[in-house]
Structures are given as C-alpha cells and as structure tokens.
Structure 1
C-alpha cells in the first residue's frame, strides 16, 4: 500500500480520499480493554483510521532507562502490542510521538527530567522580558493548583539531543515494523499545535533564549548576506551579529526600518517552526508522510497577525499542514467562526482534532453531537481535507504520573463511553463517515464557489502583530483579513487565501480577484507578480498604503505604477448560494454545472426552515429547503439538478431543539417521521433518534 499526501489530500495507492479519523488515548486506558474499545469504535462509528499520541513521559519516565514500548515495566506501555491490535482489527493509525503532545497530560507529555527546573543542562524558552515560558507540571502545590514549570528551549543543545534519542527510539522500536505496507501506521504527526501548543501565541511570547537568538541571528546572516548589508538596510552600526536585538516592545513602529526588523522577527518564528519540525522528523525518519497540526488564531486582536506571520506551510518542504479546533462554538460565537475558517483555509490539510467529547472542560454545548457535526462540516466547506473525532472513546485508567489535573472519564461525552458503550454521538459520526466513504473523493475534487482571494503577504502580518489594538496605521494583514472575512460572509460568499511570497504567475491566475492590505515595502518579486496579474487582465484591490520600496528598502514602484496605469478591472461575478430565509451560512462546491455539494450551517438562533437558492448551469437554479435543529447543519449532494444523498441534524440537546428534519429540492422533499437526525447514503434512508 502506497500512502501519499498531495495538496493535503490522502492518496492510497494513487486513489484520493477524505481522511476521517478518531483519537484513542490508549495510555489512559487499561490494556485489557484496548481491543474491545477499538473494535467498538470501528463498528459503531465506521471510522477506520485511529490517531494516537505517544507520550514521552509515559514511556520513558526515567532519564537513565530506555523507553518502554513493550510493557516490560508496565502493561499500559505496550505500544507495540497496541499497534498490533489496531492492525488485527483492520485499523490504520496516525502516530503522534510529540515530543510535546498537550493532550491534558502533565507537562504536556514531556518527562519531568527534561524540565529546565530539574535539569540545569536544559535551557528554558524565554519571552520578550526574559521570563521562562511556563506550562502545567505534574505536582499540585499547597493551594491545590498544579505547579507551572518552564518549557525547554526547542533549539537548546541538550534538549535537542534527548528529543533526537526519543525519536530514534520510536522509529527503531515501534515504527520500523509498524509502518505501512507491513504495519498499520500510515501517517506521522510531529509536535502539537505549534511546538508547545504555542502556534497562536503572540510574537513576543517566545523564543528569546540564547539558542533561539543564536538561530535568529544566523538566519539574518543567511538572509542579508553580510553584517554590512544588514546595517545598511536597517540604519544600524553593529560590529557583530550578537549585537542585533529582536523587537521586544509592543508599540507603534517609529520608522520603516523598525517595521522591517519586525518582519525579520516574524520570519524567525516561521524558521523556528520549520527547523524544529525538520530536525525532529529527521531523527524519526519515518517511511510515511509527516504532518503537523496548528491551533487556529487566538481571540486577541493581534492574534491573526502573529499566527499568519508564524504559520508558513509553504516553507516546510515536505512537512504537511493540518489544524485543530479548541477555540469556541462556531454556531454561536462570531469570533470563533472567523478563526476556524482562516485555519481551514490557510493551506490544504485535515482537521486533526475536533472536539467531540469535552463538554465539562470546554463548553457545555459539546454535550450535543450537533455542535461537533456543525463544526466538522464547516471545516470541510472551508477547505479541510479531513475530519477528526477527539476523542472517539472515553478512558478512565490513568494515574497521577500521567495526569494529575483531571478526573475520569476523559473525555466526558464522546461517541464511545468509558464502559465501552456507544452513545448517541456514535450514530452521528457513522453518518459522516459513511457519507464521506461514498463521496469524499468527489467532494474534495469539487470546486468551491469562491470569488475573491486574500493575498497573504506575511511580512505585513509580522509588522502589524506588534501594533497596539487601536492602531491601524502602517502595514496590515490579520485585522484587514478579519474584516474581509466578515464582509464576504455577510454577502453570502466564499473566498480563498493565497501566499504571495511563494505564488507563481500560474498559481495566481487561479485567483482572478486579489484583495490585500499594503504597507511601505514589498518584495520586488511580489510586486512584479502582482503587476503581471494586473497586466493579464485580473484584479488586484489594494487597501492601505501602496508599497514604494522593496524588501531591502530600496526604491521600487513596480506595483504602484501598475495600479496607476488604469482602472483595476472589476472582478468577475461568481455565482454563490444565497440564503433566502433563515439564519444560516451556505457553501457550494461544484462538480459540474448541475452537480455538487451544498453545505448549510444553521446558526444557534435560527427559527424555522432555511431556504437556499443555488445557481446551477445556465439559468437553472436549485431551491433547497432544510429543516434542522438550532446549531445543526446539513450537507446535500445534488446530481443533475436533482436531490441525491444528504445529511441533516434534527436534534440539539444542548439548545433543547428537536425538530422533524426535512431536506427538499424542487418537487422532492424527504421528511423524517419525527424528531431525529436524518441521512441518505447511497440511496439508503437512515433515521437516528437519540
């Protein structure tokens, strides 16, 4: 079996498919129930790919002893046996060896002995003020709270050696015999949500440690070529690279040179991720594709800019993009919706953690499967290539050495409970899994009805990330993107994101209407690319300042001249679905003029049916009616202008919403015989009552 990731899509022996997965934290359960829980997960949800973290602290609690992957020291460490069970049950596995995993484990899954507070050879990650960056440890203090401990600097020498040892041990003792085609492991995920669940933190949050700054200055030397060249551009007189200081203070930039220094620091954050990902992957040397998952931007005004400056998948060279959830209920929270959509649109890749089980820890809305169903469909509509159930199974068999913070079960309301029984959510997941087993490849190949594209110029994000919340002067990216998102959503449209620094004229031609926010400088190559886009008859709509300098602050007016040469062509009209009645979002992906997929995302305050007008080929218009629970959703396949398979939720226990679901198109209308979820997959009608 040959496994590949192409443009974020999983291909098995050349055939594309939508990646549907569920997480099982084997390390939190009694090994005697592993087989039963995995079998139940497979049979009740239809999921055939399991994701599992490999906690470093669990398998190697003692620095002077080798990791235990066979259960020699404790049965629940028998990772080799766990993977054997997966293979025997016909389940594929995404292996997630960290080194940092979060997963609500003590110290993020890192062993205590790698903590700088315990081992003086390990350097700590530092913030802009020189303070160690802290994470929850493994011991409760006198006040009952879990103590917070410093995190290792990711590029620190001793930490790098020990991480390399861990990864090589995982490869030699686990993955070498467990990867496809001889074993169940088909993909590997490195790290979690950045490096230390820090992908969404501000640019001043890390890493100002000595090894971090040495790497930063080394990258400056590569980028500028010489210290003299750096001094000339930045207006400085440094006699040694060690004298170059990164930005540390959040304020309005006083000069274009200060803006450029912020762009340098943003590029460093991208380089830091890239370096860690490649170093850890090289030590692991897996024989299958490697991906990562990034948490979406945080809720703060500056977070979009910091996130966009740091998250640069185009620079990862063979490491593939994925993302997580954990930022709020999108059917209720407007801010969460924007953050989630941007994460899904940033690059092609799967959602690798969607909350299907944590209501007590995060939000009571997740007690209802409709909440997670809605979010999974939104991710796919926005561009995700896969969905995940985190976690698929509740567990209750861990000790304080692994997690001192949380009481069983973990989580509290997943598809399979702690006794191994399927819950109502299992049937909801089964609807999704079966639908995309039948139609996933076609769905992913379909073309979104997107009009405009946001032109991402990451140096502007790095500059704007440092601006105070009330300052919109100078270069911009994240906050204008947020405004653009809201405008497109209000118009009922859709959009894409394209990275301008890595784009070519050919790729940019697929984005005929580009929107971006300017600043004082821009790479000459990017200016010429945009000028050529205009010359080819496409649209470039630039807000804010028109750049008149290149990346080295030399005069460059290529884009300014192109914009001044004549009126910007009006963007071509893209036919998008229109919500005629009801409070909902609608997304259309077309396979052919009269065939495609309509996603209807019903908001939590909706009352009554939702009616959507979908433009098909020529003058043909499909009018689709959906009756769904509040906060629910529907996915409708239209073939030849006729209603085909569909999914719709009629129940949302959290909102006390129970309706008789309906899906109608033209003269055909399918109605359940009572309050339930309703599906038609391969022509077979299914009703799910909770």
Structure 2
C-alpha cells in the first residue's frame, strides 16, 4: 500500500517527494496478448507509471450495461490491464472521462447521448447546432448519465487505488474541458442574455460570458470530483488536463488556464497538468513552453504541483502524411526544460500506437470503428501500432535516464529565479468566444492576442530567456505578494483593478517593466487609464507599420532599428524615440518609491538592449555564459537541503563552447564547457555523496547510493572533471588527483 499526497508543490509517495515518469498506453487499441510487450517497453524507456484513457463509448454495451473485465470483448478488460501493469511494478493514472478525446468518435461519449437526448447539444450564437461533439456539461440529463458511468467505472478503480494496495496513484476528471466550445466559438448559451449582444454592450457582455463559463466549468469539475468520491475514489490526487497549444505554438495555451483555473485552484488534492504539442523545440517556440509552464504554475496554489498530462513524444507524423517530422532531440530538450521548471509528472503522449476496434453496432460512417483515424492509430508514437520502436524511443529512454539520475534532486527541488516575475493576467485570455457580428469584440481580441503574455512578437519572453534570465510568473489578479521586479506584456485592455494594483505596486517601491502598449480600457470596454494617470504618462498617438511604411526607433547609443509599431508617450524620461521625429515611445518614470520602464514598441530581440532594461531595474542574471552565439537557455534548481543542479539547454543550431559562472563565481574555475547543438546537460553543484560533497562537475548524475556516486561524462574528447571536497577512496572509469577526478570512461564510479 502506498500513500499519495500533493503537498508543497510536490508529489509525495509514502511521504517522500518523487517524480512520476509515465507513458500513455491504450489497452483498448491493443490485443491483450500485446499488453505485456508494450508495458515492458514502457519500463525499458524509463517509465514507472502507465496512463490510459478508459472510454465510456467503448465500455458501455448496446443494452447500456458496462463491461470492464472483458466478458464481451477481451479489449474491454481494463481491470486486467491495470492488474498486469501492477504485477510489473508499474503505477497507473486512470483517465475515465466522461470526455476523453483521443481521436475517438463523440470524443469518447456513447452515441445514445446524441441520438436519444439531442437537447444536450449546445446551440451556436444564432441557435444552430454546434459543429463539435460537445454537450452541455451542466445539463441535468448529461450529469445523470455521467454519474451512471462513474457508478460503473469508479468502483473498479477504487479497488485498485495505491492506498489500498493497487497501482492507481491518480485519476483524471474529464479531459480538455472547454476546448471544444472554444475552438468552435460555441459557448454554452442557456442564458438568453448572451445570444444577441448589442454592439454598444458587446464588450461588457463578452466579459460577463467568459466569467459565466469559468463558473460553469468550476461547477462541472466539482460535480465530477464529488461523484468519484461517492463511488469510493478517494485518497489519491485528482487531475485536470489544460489544453491550448496550436500549430506548434503555445501562445493560446493560457486560454485553457483562464477557462479552468477556478476549477482547480484551492481544491484539496487536485492539480492541473499541461497538454502541449509544440513539435520541435527551438529558439522560436522554447519561450512558449517556458511561459506555459510558468503561467500554469502561477495558477496553482501552494500545494498543487506542476505536471504535464500530455507530454508530446514521437515523430510528429500525426496524420501519417509525412508533412511533419520532429527530430528525436526535441523530446530530450522538452523533458529537460520541464523538469527544470518543477514538473513533477510527465506523461508521454502517446507512448504506443495500436488499432481501433469496431463498434458493437455499425453507424455507417465509413469505418464503423471507435475512432476516426481508421484502423491504425498512434502513427507518431515512439512505439508504432505494430510494436516497433522508432527513433523517439531511444531519445525518450536517454532523456528519462538523465532525469532518473537526478530524480531525488528534481523531485524535491524548485527552480531558482533572478528576482523578477512575468505577469500573468488571466483575463487577457478570456477571449475564446466572440459574437460573429461584433466588430468591437474582434478588435479587442486582435489587440490582446498581439500584445499579451510573451509580449509583442513574443520578443519580451524570448529576449529574457536567451539573455540568460530565468523567472516564474505571478497572477497579478490574485492576492499575494508581488516580486521586487515585475515584467508585464500589456495590451490596450487591462482591468481597472489590475491597473490600480500596479500603480500602487510601483508607488510602494516596486520596479515595473511594461512592454506592449499602455492600457486604455477596462476588460468590459470602459475607458480606463488608471495606471497611466498614476505614472503621469499620456498616450498621444501611435504609428503602425504597413507593407510600404517602416517605422523605426532609436535607443541612446544604439543604431536605428525598424519596428512594427510605436505608441507615442508624453511624460517621464525618454529612453526610446521614433526616428525622424520628436515622438517618444519609451520612458522611465519614477513614481513614489518605485520606478517603471515603459517600452511601447516591439523593439527587436537585441539581447544587450533587454539586459540594459533589466539592469535599469536592478536585475542581473545569476547564471552567465560567454558563448559567441545566442541559443543557450540557463537555469538552476535547488532542493530543500541546498543541493543544486545547473541546467544548460542549447536550443541553437550550432555547438556551444563557453565558460559558465553562478552568482559571479566561475564554475570549474572558468573551464570551458561544450554542449552540442540541440542538447542539454544537468550539472550537479554542491551535491552530497554520503559524507562527501560533489562541489562541481562537467558530468551528469547516474546514481547516488550511500558513499558512492556514478557519473556520466558529457564533454567527450574535451575531457570531464568532477571536484569533491575530499579525496575519494576509489575510482572506477577515471583517475583521481586529490579531490579532482578525471573522467576517462563512459561512466565513472567514485567511492568514499
């Protein structure tokens, strides 16, 4: 029996912080004779947990009975699958819906809910049927049917919970809640006041609608949680999956957070996980993953850990059309970034492909199978439908091996930061719905999408990361202390309460960097310049680039650069001017005890410029490198006993050679490090080995047991070192010169 608990943003299993490395295996897409092979491959890849959807559509029979043990079809024996996984020493995460998506027809909900109760399908703005297979989450008939499904599936899971000696350590409630209505712009509209907003009231009505929908999702999740508990599922965490990446980018991911954070924040023993599909990880979209993790963490409470319930793995060939192939290095880079930011659970999605079984009753839709992908499914997975391992399999195995070697430090560690946070404004993402006839709403959404989150053209977040900074995010709409320095990507719309809070923050000594445009409206469209008024700054105009007009700006001592727009500001000390005019688009303002730096243009990703901006606010990076080319992302984690890992990701296309320093102290006395293109390292820094301490090294951890440590060299022909605070008693695979060990083998074992 194992106790599983969420506390201090950690997953505690039997009281000890642990990482959960999981992979999604769909038993219903595999013959039972293949289950053992796929679970063995899961373990070979380095996973300790298997996750799986449990589709209501598949387990409910035509007579409305439910088969969970395979009496009507061997692929319905989910109980046997979980027992087999348990027998192999694997834990399990169960995902029983009601909605499960996974390319299943009706998103995994039985056909009868659409044919027998058509009133459950929400209507569009003009009263038509929504184009997706969503249902009204809070309709009494749907909740009754969902509770009936839970009454069947949850007792089977309850009997297999970890505290009762079984494998199940977590249960996900539904999947990607709100996603279908967002992508189809079809909110649930049972309330007539939302159907036909007048243009003069459009923004206020949309704002009210977004808050109304948030509350509906909150009530829906609360119902599911209570229903699961009534059926005996208690004592393990519940999970919520947050959706939102799109076309290899994460700019829309915070829409899912905005929809759902009221559903999970503050709910005991429940946490939220990301669902990201970004393809390769490069300097272009690495800020998307980093800020998505940071924003999700900012929406969690003090006990809720950061997780990734759909952690993309595989080739990216989702349509089996070879239109996209993701290099295997991507899964290594994404793994390293996520664990460095405090993800405690990674669930590889999808780990293995399979074949979709036929429905019990033909529906005449062209294939009569449970999914719309055809017979084969999971073409891009590390293990294909036929059980063959692709290139991503070895990449996953290597990435998870690196994580396992440092798992104790990562499970009980937190990312360090440079004393500032990126502001997260949930209401900036309350944009998933817009009435087709409202031009005011379209204009508001376009402005928010252009400036929010990572900044105009994503330059703000990208520049800060590649300039060597690492940072959390903070929800500026929620109570709680703000950091000494705050960075905000601002749009024209910013709620009055947030504007007033930021004004008070600066007056009380806070330091604010605002990039974007100075806000002029409240969320409901009412004019609001509370922040500008407090800072004594006025907006006097704006210029935008066109295909034939190229606005340019000048910062002191720097060449003129082209920009996409510039907002003209009056007041404060100028720091940026529009070329060829007296117009100012960047100012420094002293207000009370604090200072604000307003950069009202999309200044390019010139890293020195952004370093100067942060230095103006008193921020310097704790980790520095002297690599010639940009592309390195640096951060560090520290556990509760002060042991650190220095994380280096080379996102660039070229190998990086550089010296590294931590808090102005050269690492390894300035020895140059080599990190190949598209690779990363996790370097121990002050890590205990029994009674000794590994002070610093170029190696990664493989294992620590008592007074022995096993290291993996990373520098190849450049040579590796490990520096301890005392002479080792014995070294295998290397040589010792006092406390300095030179690595000369693939693995080095050092004993004290």
CA distance in 2, matches of 1:182, 1:153: 37
Give how far 1:572 is off: 2.9
CA distance in 2, matches of 1:354, 1:417: 17
CA distance in 1, matches of 2:108, 2:471: 38
| Residue 405 (str. 1) matches residue 385 (str. 2) | no
Find the partner of 2:123 among 119, 122, 126: 126
| Residue 645 (str. 1) matches residue 700 (str. 2) | yes
CA distance in 2, matches of 1:292, 1:517: 29
CA distance in 1, matches of 2:374, 2:273: 29
Structure having the larger proportion of residues in strand:
2
Q: Are the aligned partners of 1:370 and 1:631 in contact in 2 as well (CA < 8 Å)?
A: yes
Q: Are the aligned partners of 1:70 and 1:79 in contact in 2 as well (CA < 8 Å)?
A: yes
CA distance in 1, matches of 2:523, 2:592: 20
Give how far 1:153 is off: 1.8
Question: Match of 2:149?
Answer: 166
Find the partner of 1:480 among 451, 455, 475: 455
CA deviation vs aligned residue, 1:434-461 (integer Å, no higher than 9, x gap): 3323322423514334453222232344
- SS of 2:33's partner is helix
Give how far 1:380 is off: 3.1
Find the partner of 2:674 among 612, 620, 626: 626
Give how far 1:27 is off: 0.5
Cα 1:520–1:173 shift into 2, 3 Å: closer
CA distance in 2, matches of 1:127, 1:382: 40
Give how far 1:86 is off: 1.4
CA distance in 2, matches of 1:583, 1:209: 49
Question: Match of 2:289?
Answer: 340
CA distance in 1, matches of 2:250, 2:4: 40
Instruction: Note the aligned Cα RMSD (angstroms).
Output: 4.1
Which region of structure 1 is more displaced relative to structure 2, 322-331 or 294-303? 294-303
Find the partner of 1:275 among 214, 219, 224: 219
Cα 1:411–1:583 shift into 2, 3 Å: farther
Question: Match of 1:376?
Answer: 335
Q: Are the aligned partners of 2:243 and 2:274 in contact in 1 as well (CA < 8 Å)?
A: yes
- 1:285-364 correspondence to structure 2 within 5 Å: 285=229, 286-287=233-234, 288-298=236-246, 303=252, 306-307=255-256, 309-312=258-261, 316-318=265-267, 319-331=270-282, 334=284, 336-348=285-297, 349-361=306-318
Which region of structure 1 is more displaced relative to structure 2, 121-130 or 154-163? 121-130
CA deviation vs aligned residue, 1:153-190 (integer Å, no higher than 9, x gap): 22222112111111222112333444433211000112
Give how far 1:574 is off: 2.9
Q: Are the aligned partners of 2:493 and 2:525 in contact in 1 as well (CA < 8 Å)?
A: no
Cα 1:268–1:397 shift into 2, 3 Å: closer
Give how far 1:55 is off: 0.6
Give how far 1:109 is off: 1.4
- SS of 1:468's partner is helix
CA distance in 1, matches of 2:105, 2:747: 42
- SS of 1:292's partner is strand
Cα 1:535–1:18 shift into 2, 3 Å: farther
Q: Are the aligned partners of 2:634 and 2:649 in contact in 1 as well (CA < 8 Å)?
A: yes
CA deviation vs aligned residue, 1:46-71 (integer Å, no higher than 9, x gap): 21111100011110142x42211111
Give how far 1:81 is off: 1.1
Find the partner of 1:513 among 464, 480, 486: 486
Cα 1:385–1:599 shift into 2, 3 Å: farther
| Residue 539 (str. 1) matches residue 516 (str. 2) | no
Which region of structure 1 is more displaced relative to structure 2, 178-187 or 408-417? 408-417
Structure 2 gap segments, 5+ residues each: 298-305, 359-366, 434-440, 536-589, 597-616, 687-694, 703-712, 723-732, 734-742
- SS of 1:98's partner is coil
CA distance in 2, matches of 1:67, 1:392: 27
Q: Are the aligned partners of 1:338 and 1:485 in contact in 2 as well (CA < 8 Å)?
A: yes
Cα 1:635–1:412 shift into 2, 3 Å: farther
- 1:51-66 correspondence to structure 2 within 5 Å: 51-62=51-62, 64-66=63-65
Which region of structure 1 is more displaced relative to structure 2, 590-599 or 266-275? 590-599
- SS of 1:495's partner is coil
Give how far 1:281 is off: 1.9
Report the count of equivalent residues.
599
CA deviation vs aligned residue, 1:575-615 (integer Å, no higher than 9, x gap): 23446134523121143999422231333xx13x2134432
Question: Match of 1:31?
Answer: 32
CA distance in 1, matches of 2:444, 2:492: 18
Give how far 1:343 is off: 2.3
- 1:522-601 correspondence to structure 2 within 5 Å: 522=495, 524=497, 530=502, 533-534=505-506, 537-542=509-514, 544-545=517-518, 561=534, 564-565=591-592, 567-568=594-595, 570-578=617-625, 580-582=627-629, 584-591=631-638, 595-601=644-650
Give how far 1:275 is off: 2.1
| Residue 502 (str. 1) matches residue 548 (str. 2) | no
Q: Are the aligned partners of 1:122 and 1:159 in contact in 2 as well (CA < 8 Å)?
A: no
Question: Match of 1:20?
Answer: 21
| Residue 462 (str. 1) matches residue 421 (str. 2) | no
Give how far 1:264 is off: 2.1
Q: Are the aligned partners of 2:258 and 2:430 in contact in 1 as well (CA < 8 Å)?
A: yes
Which region of structure 1 is more displaced relative to structure 2, 103-112 or 544-553? 544-553
Q: Which has the larger radius of gyration?
A: 2
Greater RCO, CA 8 A, separation 6+: 1
Question: Match of 2:555?
Answer: none
Cα 1:258–1:357 shift into 2, 3 Å: same
CA distance in 2, matches of 1:479, 1:456: 10
TM-score (norm 1): 0.75
TM-score (norm 2): 0.70
Question: Match of 2:437?
Answer: none
Question: Match of 1:111?
Answer: 110
Question: Match of 1:90?
Answer: 89
CA deviation vs aligned residue, 1:337-394 (integer Å, no higher than 9, x gap): 4433332222232122223235432566656432222222233345533322222233
CA deviation vs aligned residue, 1:126-174 (integer Å, no higher than 9, x gap): 3434443334xxxxxxxxxxxxxx4322222211211111122211233
Q: Are the aligned partners of 2:185 and 2:432 in contact in 1 as well (CA < 8 Å)?
A: no
CA distance in 2, matches of 1:331, 1:386: 23
CA distance in 2, matches of 1:8, 1:618: 30
| Residue 387 (str. 1) matches residue 350 (str. 2) | no
| Residue 207 (str. 1) matches residue 187 (str. 2) | yes
Q: Are the aligned partners of 1:170 and 1:284 in contact in 2 as well (CA < 8 Å)?
A: no
Give how far 1:306 is off: 4.2
- 1:204-243 correspondence to structure 2 within 5 Å: 205-210=185-190, 213=191
Give how far 1:272 is off: 2.8
